[in-house]
Structure 1
Amino acid sequence: MFQLDLIAPIGDLLGRQAAKAATKIAYQDATRGVTYGDLQHRTRNLAGHLADNGVQSGDCVAILLPNSVNWVESCFGIVRAGGIAVPISIEASESEILYRLTDAKCRAVITTAAIATTVRTIAATAKIDLLVVPTGPAEEGDASFDNWSQSPAPAPARDPLDIDATAFIVYTSGTTGQPKGVQLSLRNLLWVTAACWSPILGLNDQDKLLSPLPLYHSYALNLTVISILATGASIHLMEKYSTREAVDLLGSGDFTIFPAVPTIFHYLLDTARNGQVTLPGIRACVTAGAIMAGTANAEFEANFGVPLLDGYGITETATMVTMNSATGGRIMGSCGLPIHGLAVRIVDPVTLKDCAPGEEGELIVRGPSVMAGYLNKPEETAKALRDGWYHSGDLACADANGFLTITGRIKELIIRGGQNIAPAEIEEVVQTLDIVLDCAVVGLPHAHLGEVPGLFIIPRDKEFDEAVVIDHCRAHLSSYKVPQVIHIVTEIPRTGSGKIIRYKLRELVS
């Protein structure tokens, strides 16, 4: 059931949870945890110090930190100061950091002491007036996350009440071009909490999540940061994913929900084949960020006896557009039904006419979670947002009951002699082979056909036979979809949300 009361300003949500459960651990990492009571005080202090040091309402403040309690406190502190939080990957290159700092015109950045020097050099070289706030101890009077979060500030937290103003700028993965800054409000994000995570996943104050998701992605920002606060749940944040660490933590029985991306569930399945892996206490796993093959989903549930709920989300819609529920009907390989309040259509990309059930077309969506637009990119915003509808660029089809299945990206389609091939269809077939650990398909140039499917594989072991893969594809795919060439690789490049970065694979053979 949709929960309207979950949509509120950050300051109000913090006050609500602190009054209800002040001593409860809200967020935890490998080194420390913070209670809801302390979270309210520490983020109020940080917000006041940011305001006292020149951060104005509407100013952008970057977060350049690993997954941690510090990251979460920085996020809430920035928003409570009236600023706009700009998450940046801790693994970003100097050029990637510079692009985001300049594109968003960041006034300040909260980062680690180790990276602070690099950031100052970047800012000085680019002649950016940037307040750098490092974590760790500092001299009295110096900007310091630790000092600021622990001590009251002369300026109060502004605690803005306008939940429709831009509060976050989340950069897209940039798998096909220059990353775009997606402007999201609290209403955008909390709508998904109220319409998806709370009523469909059943997220509540009795839940404790374990999450390896990178916080600079919208999936994690929405579910593992904002929604934890709104529902009063608690979470353990892994700094980065490690199968061994995940297996140990999941086996403890301390957790009820495990959100991840398809690649991680493949790794857990692979580990389960070679030894005992148990998920005591886990009532649900969630996958999003990339396509999860129905066969892999079914195998996971058969192995672990835990529902693995697949959903479809986009940064531009503050994540979830559709979601499967553990109760009621589910179709393996489908990403479920549209969440409350969102209108979803599948249309012909050229004519924009609605497709019949079973027909493939572009997925477009309208509703309260849709972004305001791309930062500093009016032409791309106008192309993506038309008459209130966000055009996703994703190909999908729906059955007669409305269950959606994502079939690929318009730009990723391989056109072989005039015939369209979706890479995901080939990948799902190949992933059913035990000799394949991971794979990806891209279109490779061909002198006569234009493009042909090229298959990149990480073998499970040294005893790998390409002929087995080709024969398997011939048995399960139309002849024109069978890969023309196989390349053995040691890694499939992916974004933090699990999407395959296909152009990097093309570069390997160009």
Structure 2
Amino acid sequence: MAFVQQDSLVDLIRSSRGVVVVDHRGLGAEDMEDGARRAAAYLRARGVCRGDGVVLVDDGGGAELLMTLLGAWWLGARAMIVAATDDAREVDSAVAATDASVVVRGQPTGQGSEVAYRSVLTGSQPLTAAPECGPSDVALDIATSGTTGTRKYVSFTHGALLANVTGIAKRLSLTRQDRLYTPLPMSIAGVIGMLLLPGMLAGSSIHLGRLGGVRIAQSHRQLEATRPTLVYGVPYMYELLSGQSRSVDFDGLRWLICSSAPLPSSTFDRVWQRFGVPPRSSYCLAEAGTVTLNTSDDLEVVRNTVGEPLDGTTIRTEPADSASAGRIVVSGPSCGLGYRTGGQVDLFPSGEVWTRDLGMLERGLLTVAGRVDDVIQVAGTNVDLAHVRSVIGRCPGLGEFALVAADHGRLGRVPVLLVVAGTMSTTVRDVLHFCRTALRDVEVPREVRVVTEIPRTATGKARLREEYGR
């Protein structure tokens, strides 16, 4: 299917025949344009101009957030969507890093720059002026997960996002007959970039569940009501959904897309059995959007790789110390500009994103092998935590776990295994026995900690650096 080339994301939405269903409300292009004009008028009255930053907190209605986002784009402003959280530092950090002049949220705290979504959408008459944004204007500032280091913020232009969403829609052969669904909150960048915008480009119906966290397990009701042809999610989400015994008919489902990280083999099998179609891994980066999509008909390719790069995207690998795989380097028109600090963007050198991921390219297919950070030295011997994690995942009765590296006074960095108490059907002694049988001495976790829960980001990634010295 051929898609009409657009100059901005606002043009994409205005010309779309798609419908966004959020908070039990269906929004077509006319509805979103009316809301965007109202939001643009309010934001302009607050002094927001082309190039300014606006932070949107995902703690109110999804329709209100979406129309405010479009209103910011209408003015040529850039937006950043922040997860709802009790930690005010998350919002403060986003404001400082993106130099935002306005913060919009469902429940303002009373700070001077904060306003309510309701005020934004009801406080002004619709703006009559034409959109002011173009391909080179920055549309989104996207935060990295922060699980492997200090959180950074990446700036994406309208042109880059248009290139990415067009590549996604083409690769998945999306049409007006498709029904796209995710239970994830809108603060997850992939919800906007990999689901909403490609769906609107194709004229599909897009259903946003906005659950997140452990509430993802409740999404079976939404799945029954939506009967999607495509589901977008992350490993933690599929882990939760695949463990349910509730019977659901997924007739018509074409694609199960998993971003953030490849699924472990055992989870892959459970998801396939649960949904009736194999899950497809994609390689996604906060710095480059969706890089690959696995749409192969070859089951071995589906199971073991993250697929081929999208059209226009280039991947290569560079030698990495202490690793058999190479460091993944990405370039192309859909990449971000660089990391933003306040009003400045530190551009990626030569437009290339040098990731911390390790991978192998064979016949154009990418296999993700781990991270540079996953290779540690234990008593002077290299230990690949990705390999250790994969082996431990086969331990019978282990349940939910995370493998981290902690400082050891004599051995350097050592593996430490965290296991969630309520999910175990075995003992710590048996777990250690399995590890000693299946792993080298230096790879065996020096400690097994039984915990009540593992702290996670909104996408389900284990957030462990501060807590466990990773």
TM over 0.5: same fold? yes
Asked whether 1:335 is paired with 2:300, we answer no
Shift in Å, 1:279: 2.9
Asked whether 1:426 is paired with 2:397, we answer no
Native 8 Å contact 1:310 1:335 kept in 2: yes
Shift in Å, 1:174: 1.9
Shift in Å, 1:331: 4.2
What corresponds to 2:4 in structure 1? 5
What corresponds to 1:387 in structure 2? 350
What corresponds to 2:443 in structure 1? 481
Whole-angstrom CA distance in 2 between matches of 1:481 and 1:417: 11
Native 8 Å contact 1:27 1:234 kept in 2: yes
What corresponds to 2:13 in structure 1? 14
- Cα deviation per residue 1:148-195 (whole Å; 9 max; x = unaligned)? 4xx633x43441352122111112222244322211112222222122
Asked whether 1:214 is paired with 2:208, we answer no
Shift in Å, 1:397: 2.3
Native 8 Å contact 1:29 1:238 kept in 2: yes
Whole-angstrom CA distance in 1 between matches of 2:303 and 2:372: 23
Check 1:434–1:75 CA distance in 2 against 1; reply closer, same or farther (3 A cut): farther
RMSD of the alignment, in Å?
Answer: 2.7
Whole-angstrom CA distance in 2 between matches of 1:199 and 1:476: 43
What secondary structure is seen at the aligned counterpart in 2 of 1:265?
helix
Structure 1, 327-336 or 208-217: larger mean CA deviation: 327-336
The letter for the 2-side match of 1:391 is W
- How many pairs does the alignment contain? 466
Whole-angstrom CA distance in 1 between matches of 2:57 and 2:287: 21
The correspondence for 2:209, drawn from 238, 246, 250, is 238
Native 8 Å contact 1:86 1:170 kept in 2: yes
The correspondence for 1:135, drawn from 99, 117, 122, is 117
Check 1:471–1:8 CA distance in 2 against 1; reply closer, same or farther (3 A cut): farther
Asked whether 1:360 is paired with 2:325, we answer yes
What secondary structure is seen at the aligned counterpart in 2 of 1:491?
coil
Shift in Å, 1:238: 1.8
Shift in Å, 1:500: 2.2
Asked whether 1:296 is paired with 2:262, we answer no
What corresponds to 1:254 in structure 2? 227
Shift in Å, 1:454: 0.9
Shift in Å, 1:287: 0.6
- Cα deviation per residue 1:338-379 (whole Å; 9 max; x = unaligned)? 22111111111469xxx9xxx412111111111111112899
Whole-angstrom CA distance in 1 between matches of 2:266 and 2:179: 28
What corresponds to 1:344 in structure 2? 315
- Cα deviation per residue 1:440-473 (whole Å; 9 max; x = unaligned)? 1111222332122111112554642123323333
Native 8 Å contact 2:182 2:207 kept in 1: yes
Shift in Å, 1:31: 4.1
The correspondence for 1:27, drawn from 1, 9, 20, is 20
Native 8 Å contact 2:182 2:208 kept in 1: yes
Check 1:331–1:228 CA distance in 2 against 1; reply closer, same or farther (3 A cut): closer
Check 1:37–1:231 CA distance in 2 against 1; reply closer, same or farther (3 A cut): same
The correspondence for 1:268, drawn from 241, 255, 276, is 241
What secondary structure is seen at the aligned counterpart in 1 of 2:316?
strand
Native 8 Å contact 1:250 1:280 kept in 2: no
Whole-angstrom CA distance in 1 between matches of 2:15 and 2:183: 27
Matching of residues 7-406 of structure 1 within 5 Å: 7-17=6-16, 21=17, 26-66=19-59, 68-91=62-85, 93-112=87-106, 115-116=107-108, 118=109, 120-121=110-111, 123=112, 130=113, 132-136=114-118, 144-148=119-123, 152-153=125-126, 155-195=127-167, 197-241=168-212, 242-252=215-225, 254-272=227-245, 275-317=246-288, 319-328=289-298, 330-349=301-320, 359-376=324-341, 381=346, 385-398=348-361, 400-406=362-368
Shift in Å, 1:495: 1.8
What secondary structure is seen at the aligned counterpart in 2 of 1:227?
helix
What secondary structure is seen at the aligned counterpart in 1 of 2:354?
strand
Whole-angstrom CA distance in 2 between matches of 1:491 and 1:404: 33
What secondary structure is seen at the aligned counterpart in 2 of 1:408?
strand
Check 1:34–1:366 CA distance in 2 against 1; reply closer, same or farther (3 A cut): same
Give 5+ residue unaligned stretches, structure 2: none
Shift in Å, 1:392: 0.8
The letter for the 1-side match of 2:14 is G
Whole-angstrom CA distance in 2 between matches of 1:157 and 1:478: 67
Structure 1, 305-314 or 455-464: larger mean CA deviation: 455-464
Native 8 Å contact 1:283 1:307 kept in 2: no
What corresponds to 1:140 in structure 2? none
What corresponds to 2:407 in structure 1? 445
Whole-angstrom CA distance in 2 between matches of 1:368 and 1:233: 25
What secondary structure is seen at the aligned counterpart in 1 of 2:225?
coil
The letter for the 2-side match of 1:268 is L
Shift in Å, 1:286: 0.8
Asked whether 1:466 is paired with 2:428, we answer yes
Check 1:98–1:247 CA distance in 2 against 1; reply closer, same or farther (3 A cut): same
Check 1:380–1:46 CA distance in 2 against 1; reply closer, same or farther (3 A cut): closer
Q: TM-score, normalised by structure 1?
A: 0.84
Shift in Å, 1:434: 4.7
Whole-angstrom CA distance in 2 between matches of 1:321 and 1:436: 33
Check 1:6–1:482 CA distance in 2 against 1; reply closer, same or farther (3 A cut): farther
Check 1:328–1:40 CA distance in 2 against 1; reply closer, same or farther (3 A cut): farther
Shift in Å, 1:60: 1.0
